[in-house]
Structure 1
């Protein structure tokens, strides 16, 4: 039976458990032939083969959320491992994170070129040493200082094993070679997909690491054609369809190729949910979005939890 049935169970557990941390209970499921397992709200992919299977679209797929910059909330700053853990206390989630590089070539989690907005330090990441960054503390989005430190990419990759799928946003100053080396050295090929924004970048990354999953921006039929011209197989593609909702027919065209769609609801669409009600997240999924990349992962997961299909066909993977 397809691995996707196993992961379907995960998303049912995760989405039903996002009201409160107290609702989270440990679940156990039978292992299948690939030894991919589920424990509570965590994902455990044994190898890259299970990632391919997980990201192959099927009609019984369960809608997911992706926590943009790890899902910061008050007291939990962006791109912090403690923030990732906080989101996973409420719902299973893909974790999107940003990687920058220090003066001495250490890969750290940081979105901005500068340290000023998110830490109590100052200066450009690429102009300071890792030793300096180690001395800093992260600030949340309200500017409140926390006790959390800036993690390295290696620490994040190691933490995520058996817990979460990652999508890695590579800042322009970071060589692709460094990212791939870190993914390889931590045996993270099975759960770390790399984000690209241009077709040349995607083609280069695929040539360097053809086994890795890539998140590639594909927003229209022309970009579907351009992707196919790169020679990257659809089995290695997760389609980021942009920050505006796409026609149902376009999403279906990607589904017919076995591809998951990620709709970026962060920004305007998240704000629409705040003003019009969180049920709008369900409408995005009904229109063909499979993964909602959001700044509100806990709320979005709660809104789409009622959309999970009947559990009757997935009894093999139920909690014992």
Structure 2
């Protein structure tokens, strides 16, 4: 029980104090991606950076934030592709530019060329020198460094199929909003890993009906591990499926870093396999 907790001990430190060598998470092919996401009780808790992770002076959904995070700990990253007016996929969580950039209005109202004038803001609202990256730029940067979980912010499903069908990027997990979306990707892609919401027995039953193999699945179970659904978790793990929680709307909202770390410890005790957080730099794996 304690192997994962010991392997994911929390150390609260300043990001500037770390060496700059990257701690990479590499999947060179689909089999390696499947192995990375295959459940084993011996594996340490995997930390995922929500919106690419956040650090002082390093904005969300930026290549620079992901690169900085990898100098602190190995991580994969949830990122948010969104379409511009001229159908370029860029990284932007919100439908509008106001919160995270120096521009205002909808992303979809601007061409990619127009968005080059924008500069990203960090989590404190400070303007940085960093620009809005395209999805392609992020994938090219990260293909020998990390794994990406693509959330879908209105991207047509067929565009993700086109992106993955030539196997140029084997390091991608697709988050889906429905069993229908999961089935579409499985039908149209021979090699695809899916992050699917399976929060209860009804969700599990619905997934089983799709007949998608369990070795294509990472199970998102919500904001925490709920003892009421322990049988679902046990079944999923018996099939080699990792249990994934996201704490960005809960423990990440605590006021101070020390309070956040206390909340993270509470989640680690419940033994998830993957924790998605806005602040991956507050998790530092200490191997035991």
Q: TM-score range, shorter-chain basis?
A: 0.7 to 0.9
Paired residues of 2:148 and 2:173 also in contact (CA < 8 A):
yes
Give the structure 1 partner of residue 24 of structure 2.
42
The one of 96, 109, 127 equivalent to 2:91 is 109
Q: Does 1:87 align with 2:93?
A: no
The answer to whether the aligner puts 1:96 opposite 2:70 as a matched pair is no
Q: For 1:74-124, what per-residue CA distance to the aligned partner results, in whole angstroms no more than 9, with x for missing partners?
A: 211110100111111111111110000111111100111111221111221
**Residues 157, 25 of structure 1: CA spacing in aligned structure 2 closer, same or farther, 3 A cutoff?**
closer
- Matched residue, 1:228: 208
Count of matched residue positions in the alignment of Structure 1 and Structure 2: 281
Alpha-carbon distance in 2 for matches of 1:110, 1:23:
28
- RMSD between superposed Cα atoms in Å: 2.7
1:154 corresponds to: 136
Change beyond 3 A, Cα 1:140–1:19: closer
Quote the residue 2:163 is aligned against. 182
Q: Does 1:243 align with 2:249?
A: no
Range with greater deviation from structure 2 (175-184 or 84-93): 175-184
- Per-residue deviation at 1:181? 2.2
Unpaired segments ≥5 residues, structure 1: 1-11, 27-39, 311-320
Query: Hey, what's the Cα distance between the residues in 1 that align with 2:157 and 2:20?
Result: 39
The change in CA–CA distance for 1:135 and 1:214 in structure 2 (over 3 A counts) is same
TM-score scaled by structure 1? Answer: 0.79
Q: Conserved in 2, the CA contact under 8 Å of 1:251 and 1:289?
A: no
Q: Where in structure 2 are the equivalents of 1:68-87 lying within 5 Å?
A: 68-87=50-69
- Residue 271 to residue 136, structure 1, CA distance change in 2 (3 Å): closer
Alpha-carbon distance in 2 for matches of 1:149, 1:64: 28
Q: Distance in 1 between matches of 2:9 and 2:26?
A: 14
